[in-house]
Chains A and B, each alone.
Chain A
């Protein structure tokens, strides 16, 4: 149903019981929309003002959004290097802001029933009790739930959604917002800058090491909708934090757009680990810009797993700005039929003795296509920079596809870079060996694939790695035989 871009009254609906909803996979279910605020279809100056009005943005943000919209409209689609599938994104057929107009709740009991059931079903409250230091759960454009454990809050850690961060902590927010990823970085970062809503704002004070991970969960519930969260994480001197994000959406008839911008700032000696398990349904365009700045002795690690979506384009980057800074990207991608996982890494060395490491493994199943795109840049007059890049691809079926397009640029004779890529199959011998020991062909295949990515799966927190293996098994189902 197409709704006009005026403010809708909340629609009361009887929340159906979860058991009544037919599902094919964990995330594939939906509740009726009851949005108080709906920016309507398409994106114009009016849309921007609507969002700014609803969110009560300060003037500088409103201006920032308007400028970004111009940049977005001027920039061409990057189809001269990226897939032509981007042309199938019809920007006029999306709604850019949807919310029920309620503030995020601190307790699950206050969260609206259908939203709570959504996250219950995805296991978020349970995980929070078990091992998380804080959780934020975003439902369409706005956070529905946001909580941080008292002990962590007492250490001075700030963990709120981006709107709250912007209003409550402008002095920290403004200093770094849009500084790591400028609006004009690419077409989709410009789009996000124009209509961003939700996402996390995290500040960890000097020396504070957050023991347990902070988690955000992103959920798309509405059809023909674009989610544009904006996350900014700042770890002050010597601080350490791990942030995890998960995401799901039901499978609608039409495409859904998700375009996030994530900026990380690791001050001197700080460490940030950012873990993503992306499991969007297979009609989501997931076009994400992620980048971190690592100051002296700081470390930024992106641990990234892409299983879902129709098209993912995501190249987490690290700008190593201070001496001995370290950047790392660990990436697993699984592309099934109808999917294109176009992922990679960008490592920009901007100081002496900086080191970076990229390990990427992809698995293509059926007619799936996995692409690695990398950039390593070591400019002039630096000393002792090192990069190691490894990308391995596994092809499961005869029609599976994989591509690798790295770009390595080195100046000067005091650096070392190495890049290696390989493409292989699960060999018939391997399968035979396992089947001979009583496994079915599917089990043998699943075991081999898990073996291929096992060393990377270990990098994920325990609860995630179990989930990851399960998801991979699920995706592999029926791919052999």
Chain B
């Protein structure tokens, strides 16, 4: 039967050039074997409850082709980034087409993944994909590791503070093209950095991004990270992030889901040092038939650490969201503060919000809470605005904007805030 023959990403083996370091080729080949042997998560898999792993259509996609000169030019023209930035990388179909690191302080390593494989092998060996990926996408992570060749590696030495964000664009071009972007951020003691990843489509049908971000915060350091997914409406997106916060480190991670027919994010925060802090934030604005699938895990492995999660979804049309979050407080992680909040604003009668907020507490002297709400805009709020002469449609837009902006503000960069609010506005117009 021809239909039984694996096609696309199921069968196309990754090609590694001979200049790739041997250890990496070995890991990559092992990952390819693992990908092929692992079964696709089934419907009974708790990590895929209310969702479906088949929404990521592996058989229909192939690794993206090297872009043509025109495609690269078009992508660069469409890249409207931050004015105030420390560095910028633009990738098209996993190929680096522009990099500008002129705003970086001395001593900072900020290179493409390909470059890092040559120049910073030790750091990669130490930090690259060391997380255990416990949220159900082991098979997809193996595929990522098998194919990964693009992305950014940022290593900030001790006490170095980078004020402005590092901005990275990943464009996907062409029919059914798949990209595998990787971001690795490592901070030394008391260093500070802020990184924004953008995932976007230029042209072509479908499109798939299977991205992974590893964020490793050293003692007393600060990392702010945002993944803004604005792929085309018929694309599929998977973003896996694993965060490690060391002693007194503070890591803020932010998921923005605006594009793709199906987008799934898995975010794991490991609080491994005393006094560590992790803020996990997300906004999504699904419309039409879009599905947003969010899985989170806050793991408290050390005492006196704090984690705070706030996910907000504003749903329109026939869209669906799934939020599944878990806080695990390990034995001995006393004096933990862990919070988890998911709020769903349902703006149509066909939208569906599923929430699975979970807690597993094995320690003492813990302050833990989770909250989840799902509901429409309150009549009182609309009345209040109407009483001030604001028409209904505008009131609704303002309320939704305020609802989402509340999260974005916590990200703490005003230019990022303005840009994102503008993008949300554009999408809100489409939603109505």
Interface residues of A (CB under 8 A from B): 80-81, 380-381, 393, 395, 397-425
Establish whether residues B362 and A401, one from each chain, have CB atoms under 8 Å apart when the complex forms.
Answer: yes
Which residue from chain A places its CB closest to the CB of B358 in the assembled complex? A405
Check A412/B351 contact, CB under 8 A, given A421-B359, A425-B364: yes
Q: How far is the CA of A404 from the CA of B352 in the complex (A)?
A: 22
The yes or no answer to B357 lying at the interface (CB within 8 A) is yes
Q: How far is the CB of A217 from chain B (nearest CB, A)?
A: 35
Give the residue of A381, A399, A405, A417 whose beta carbon is less than 8 angstroms from that of B375: A417
- Segment among B95-103, B213-221, B261-269, B341-349 that sits at the interface with chain A: B341-349
Q: Could you tell me the distance between the alpha carbons of A205 and B116 in the complex, rounded to whole angstroms?
A: 79
User: CA–CA, A459 to B399, complex, Å?
Assistant: 40
Question: Is there an interface contact between A421 and B349, defined as CB atoms closer than 8 Å?
Answer: no
Nearest CB on B from A361, distance (A): 14
The answer, yes or no, to whether B355 is at the interface (CB within 8 Å) is: yes
Min distance, Cβ B25 to any Cβ of chain A, angstroms: 36
Tell me the bound Cα distance from A111 to B283 in angstroms: 66
> With a CB–CB cut-off of 8 A, which chain A residues contact B46?
80-81
- B253 smallest CB distance to A (angstroms): 23
Which interface residue of B359, B363, B373 has the most chain A CB atoms within 10 A? B359
Asked if residues A414 and B364 are in contact (CB atoms below 8 Å), the reply is no
| Bound CA–CA A397/B344 (angstroms) | 35
The distance in angstroms between the C-alpha atoms of A70 and B347, with both chains bound, is 46
- Residues B223-239 near A (CB distance < 8 A): none
Question: Closest approach, in angstroms, between the C-beta of A186 and any C-beta of chain B?
Answer: 14
Q: Knowing A406-B355, A412-B346 touch, does A417 contact B368 (C-beta < 8 A)? A: no
In the assembled complex, B370 has its CB within 8 A of some CB on chain A: yes
B371 touches A395 (CB 8 A): no
Question: By the criterion of a CB under 8 Å from any partner CB, how many residues of chain B are at the interface?
Answer: 39
CA–CA, A395 to B375, complex, Å? 32
- Measured CA separation A397–B356 after assembly (Å): 27
B372 in contact with A408 (CB, 8 Å) = yes
Chain B residue numbers with a CB within 8 Å of A411 are 346, 349-353
Chain B residue with Cβ nearest A402: B361
Knowing A80-B46, A406-B358, A411-B351, say if A416 contacts B374 (CB, 8 Å).
yes
Q: Are A406 and B374 in contact (CB under 8 A)?
A: no
B44 touches A401 (CB 8 A): no
Q: Please state if A419 and B371 are interface contacts (CB–CB under 8 Å).
A: yes
Residue of B nearest to A408 (CB): B355
Does B374 contact A421, Cβ atoms closer than 8 Å? Answer: no
The 0/1 profile, CB within 8 Å of A marked 1, for residues 375-419 of chain B is: 110000000000000000000000000000000000000000000
Contacts of A380 in B (CB 8 A): 349-350, 352
The verdict on B73 contacting chain A, using a C-beta distance below 8 Å, is no
Using Cβ atoms and an 8 Å threshold, which residues of chain A touch B350?
380, 411-412
- Distance (Å) between the CB of B297 and the closest chain A CB? 13
Given contacts A411-B349, A415-B376, A417-B374, list 7 more A-B pairs with CB under 8 A: A398-B363, A399-B362, A404-B357, A421-B369, A423-B366, A425-B364, A425-B365
Report if B367 contacts A (CB, 8 A).
yes
B24 within 8 A of A: no
For the complex, give the distance between the alpha carbons of A414 and B360 in Å: 32
**Cβ B370 vs Cβ A412 within 8 A:** no
Closest chain-A Cβ to B251's Cβ sits at a distance in Å of: 23
A393-B361, A400-B364, A404-B357 known; A409 vs B370 contact (CB < 8 Å): no
- Check B361–A407 contact: CB distance below 8 A: no
Nearest CB in chain A: distance from B117 CB, A: 39
B52 within 8 A of A: no
Q: Is B295 an interface residue (CB 8 A)?
A: no
Of the candidates A404, A408, A409, A425, which one forms a contact with B366 in the assembled complex, judged by CB atoms under 8 Å apart?
A: A425
Given A406-B355, A407-B355, A412-B349, the answer on whether A423 and B369 have CB atoms closer than 8 Å is yes
Alpha-carbon gap, A441 to B17, bound state (A): 70
Q: Knowing A412-B350, A420-B371 touch, does A405 contact B356 (C-beta < 8 A)?
A: yes
Within the complex, which residue of A395, A407, A412, A419 is in contact with B373, where a contact is CB–CB below 8 Å?
A419
CB closest chain-A residue, reference B345 = A413
Residues of B within 8 A of A414 (CB): 349, 376
> Is B120 part of the contact surface with A, judged by Cβ < 8 Å?
no
Contact of B49 among A407, A416, A421 (CB under 8 A): A407
CB pair B357 A419 closer than 8 Å: yes
Residues A402 and B363 in contact, CB atoms below 8 Å apart: no
* From A80, A409, A413, contact of B376 by CB (8 A): A413
Q: Does B170 contact A (CB under 8 A)?
A: no
Question: In the complex, which of the residues A400, A405, A413 contacts B348, with contact meaning CB atoms closer than 8 Å?
Answer: A413
**Could you tell me the distance in whole angstroms from the C-beta of B135 to the nearest C-beta in chain A?**
15
B371 in contact with A418 (CB, 8 Å): yes
27 pairs, CB–CB < 8 Å, chain A vs chain B: A80-B45, A81-B46, A380-B352, A399-B362, A401-B362, A402-B360, A404-B358, A407-B355, A408-B355, A408-B356, A408-B374, A409-B50, A409-B352, A412-B351, A412-B352, A413-B346, A413-B349, A414-B349, A415-B346, A416-B373, A416-B375, A420-B370, A420-B371, A421-B359, A421-B371, A424-B368, A425-B365
User: Which A residues touch B200, using CB under 8 A?
Assistant: none
Residues of A within 8 A of B369 (CB): 420-423
| Residue on B nearest A397 in the bound complex, by CB | B364
Question: What 1/0 flags go to B72-85 for Cβ under 8 Å of A?
Answer: 00000000000000
Cβ–Cβ < 8 Å partners of B44 in chain A: 80
Interface string of B312-347 (1 = CB under 8 A from A): 000000000000000000010010000000001011
Cβ-neighbour of A404 out of B45, B370, B373 (below 8 A):
B370
User: In the complex, which residues of chain B have a beta carbon less than 8 angstroms from the beta carbon of A407?
Assistant: 49-50, 354-356
B349 x A381 contact (CB < 8 A): yes
Known: A407-B49, A409-B50, A424-B367. A419 touches B351 (CB 8 A): no
Shortest C-beta distance, A14 to chain B (Å), equals 50
Q: Tell me the smallest distance from the CB of B228 to a CB of chain A, in Å.
A: 26
User: Which one of A397, A403, A418 lies within 8 Å of B360 (CB-CB)?
Assistant: A403
Shortest Cβ gap from A6 to chain B (Å): 42
Closest B residue to A395 by beta carbon equals B364
**For B374, what are the chain A residues with a Cβ–Cβ distance below 8 Å?**
408, 410, 415-417
Q: A419 and B359: CB pair below 8 A?
A: no
Q: Could you say which residues of chain B place their CB within 8 Å of the CB of A422?
A: 368-369
Contacts of B355 in A (CB 8 A): 406-409, 419
A80: which B residues are within 8 A, CB to CB? 44-46
A420 to B359 alpha-carbon distance, docked (Å): 11
On chain B, the residues within 8 Å of A419 by CB distance are 355, 357, 370-373
Q: A428: nearest residue on chain B (CB-CB)?
A: B365
How far apart are the CA atoms of A414 and B49 in the complex, in Å? 24
Which of A381, A399, A423 sits near B331, CB closer than 8 Å? A399
Q: Which residues of A contact B360 (CB under 8 A)?
A: 401-403
Docked CA distance A81–B348 (Å): 32
When distances are taken between beta carbons in the complex, the residues of chain A under 8 Å from B372 are: 406, 408, 417-419
With A393-B361, A407-B354: A398-B366 Cβ-Cβ less than 8 Å: no
By a CB distance below 8 angstroms, the chain B residues around A393 are 359, 361
Measured CA separation A380–B348 after assembly (Å)? 11
Q: A380-B350, A398-B364, A420-B371 are in contact. Are A410 and B344 (CB under 8 A)?
A: yes
A19–B125 alpha-carbon span in the complex (Å)? 72
Chain A residues, Cβ within 8 Å of B357 = 404, 406, 419, 421
A180 to B346, CA, bound (A): 31
